[in-house]
Amino acid sequence: MSGTAGTDRRAEHEPTFAATPPFPEAARAALANDQLRANLGRATATIRTKRAAVVAERADWESLRLAGAAIKDEVLRDLPALLEQLERAVTDAGGIVHWARDGAEANAIVAAIVREHDATEVVKVKSMATQEIELNEALRQEGIDVWETDLAEMIVQLGHDLPSHILVPAIHRNRTEIRDIFREEMWRVGRPAPDGLSDDPPDLAEAARLHLREKFLRARVAVSGANFAIAETGTIVVLESEGNGRMCLTLPEVLITVMGIEKLLPTWRDLEVFLQLLPRSSTAERMNPYTSTWTGVTPGDGPSEFHLILLDNGRTDVLTDTTGRQALRCIRCSACLNVCPVYERTGGQAYGSVYPGPIGAILTPQLRGIAKHPVDKQTASLPYASSLCGACFDVCPVRIDIPEVLVHLRGQVVRQSEATHRLPTAEAVGMRATAWTFRSSRRLSLAERAAGLAGRLFGRRGRLRRIPGPGPVGAWFRARDLKAPARESFRAWWRRTDGGRGGD
């Protein structure tokens, strides 16, 4: 599933999510990995507690959430006009704007710009959009080296691994594993890890700093994503913690920013709301250490050439779904991952997408076109990868009702299954049968009597234990008992005793 220890470390291709099985199967494999669960449990518990503390400091948190959702909804409503406004503002400030319908177009634009400058490598700021379109692999095919400079992204890249978290893509790794990756891999691609490297976080950070420094100083082209783009001014905004982003955004001659079209904000003032919502939700900080903003190019200051690539890649299709489109409000904070009881146990790679966790379960299927055409089994399994506990909605800084969208997408999965299967699935038959039973209280009474009888036949001391079988029955009883259906249902008791008035 991932390029973890034991797989070919000199693989010709970067690992991809393409081979991920449907969620239940991928989850089973992840659940069997005790180290993974221990790493994730520790990390998510820590960030959850910290986030709750910094959010509690703001008495106006709910107002901020409402404002964030309202601004993003305005963006989605006026997207075409705002994008053209952004294009004009960036162009006026000396930048060059490109429009990319999908990942292939965006990747080709980036590759062409890099080749134009006779460059053979790029340094990268952490970016979800470029992960989404697998830019690294595309550039590698063109013979261009790509260096991730965010510490966690670098750990994933050096380890020939796949990301498992939006903000902390190497959250599934502990520090000993990271030290081993540094020792075994850094020397292949640049400055080796210092001799006798320990697994102390400051030592690991220093090793990363030394390794990256030569790449920052050498690279002539940088690639970034964007947290926000201000339509009014043409300003791009990147928030980060490590300063690697600031290096990439200021040192190279050429800067290429790939940005999903939904990352817009209408005005500079709107940024105020998001600079409060994002750091507290993502890193649990009042303010992140580095916030970089730039508007086109400034002679003698930073890159002399700036390209902005506006990426659609399925987003306009998502916009047409009035329930699903709220997923495009997402500001990639990962608060929903950190509170998700499913994510906490399975980790991010089980979701088979760069967008894992609750937001991934609603964003990935939509970006892959679930509303337009039947999707593969892995994609169709994602909306079901949730117990609908609602913790994600509670913490979402832009109030995406993730459970509502999950259930909505499940409806799309069911309708597609009905349209493409000649015979209904066993599940569909079961659902139809139960719905038919529930449409009549008389039929329900009869079914309850039959179940009560079955309970007496198969139950022991009122319990059903270890009933083998395929499908949902076997799935329940593998690890759980079940109380046997009652000898007499409530409604039968009520009828017999006149609601208890006629004795028990």
* Max Cα distance, the chain (Å): 93
Judge whether 276 and 58 are in contact, CB under 8 Å: yes
The Cα–Cα gap between 347 and 350 comes to 6
Interface pick for another protein out of 164, 257, 346, 366 (rule CB under 8 A): 346
Site string for another protein, 2-31 (x = CB under 8 A): ---------------------xx--xx--x
Binding of residue 485 to another protein (CB under 8 A): yes
Query: In 3D, which of 227, 231, 224, 228 has the Cα closest to residue 92?
Result: 231
Minimum CB–partner distance for residue 457 and another protein (Å): 16
Minimum CB–partner distance for residue 478 and another protein (Å): 7
Minimum CB–partner distance for residue 104 and another protein (Å): 32
∠ Cα 471 476 479 (to 5°): 130
Binding of residue 390 to another protein (CB under 8 A): yes
Minimum CB–partner distance for residue 171 and another protein (Å): 18
Minimum CB–partner distance for residue 452 and another protein (Å): 8
Query: In 3D, which of 264, 237, 412, 406 has the Cα closest to residue 329?
Result: 264
Identity of the residue, 132 or 344, whose beta carbon is nearer to another protein in the bound complex: 344
- Given the DSSP bridges, would you call strands 254-260 and 221-224 parallel, antiparallel or unpaired? parallel
Identity of the residue, 5 or 450, whose beta carbon is nearer to another protein in the bound complex: 450
Identity of the residue, 63 or 387, whose beta carbon is nearer to another protein in the bound complex: 387
| SS3 state at 136 | helix
Residues 6 or more apart whose Cβ sits within 8 Å of residue 306: 90, 94, 95, 96, 254, 255, 257, 294, 296, 297
* CA dihedral over 102, 414, 406, 83, signed as positive or negative: positive
Residues 6 or more apart whose Cβ sits within 8 Å of residue 35: 174
Minimum CB–partner distance for residue 41 and another protein (Å): 9
**101-104: long-range contacts, CB 8 A cutoff, minimum separation 24:** 101/312, 101/313, 102/133, 102/312, 102/313, 102/314, 103/132, 103/133, 103/134, 103/135, 103/138, 103/311, 103/313, 104/133, 104/138
Interface pick for another protein out of 393, 398, 402, 405 (rule CB under 8 A): 393
Of 9-17, 185-193, 354-362, 391-399, which segment contacts another protein by CB under 8 A?
391-399
Binding of residue 187 to another protein (CB under 8 A): no
Site string for another protein, 462-481 (x = CB under 8 A): -x-x-----xx--xx-xxxx
Considering only residues 253 to 282 of the shown chain, the ones binding another protein according to CB under 8 A are none
* Strand segments (E) across 46-167: 96-100, 121-124, 145-148
Place of tokens 């750091």: 279
Instruction: Please tell me the total number of residues recorded for the chain in this structure.
Output: 504
Minimum CB–partner distance for residue 71 and another protein (Å): 25
DSSP letter at 313 equals T
Interface pick for another protein out of 54, 96, 251, 486 (rule CB under 8 A): 486
Site string for another protein, 400-439 (x = CB under 8 A): -------x--xxxxxx-----------xx--xx-xx-xxx
Minimum CB–partner distance for residue 444 and another protein (Å): 5
Minimum CB–partner distance for residue 326 and another protein (Å): 14
Residues 6 or more apart whose Cβ sits within 8 Å of residue 299: none
Number of residues that bind another protein (CB under 8 A): 65
Interface pick for another protein out of 250, 342, 353, 363 (rule CB under 8 A): 342
Interface pick for another protein out of 66, 119, 275, 389 (rule CB under 8 A): 389
Give residues in contact with another protein (CB under 8 A). Answer: 23-24, 27-28, 31, 341-342, 345-346, 383-391, 393-394, 407, 410-415, 427-428, 431-432, 434-435, 437-441, 444, 448, 451-452, 463, 465, 471-472, 475-476, 478-483, 485-486, 488-491, 493-495, 499-500
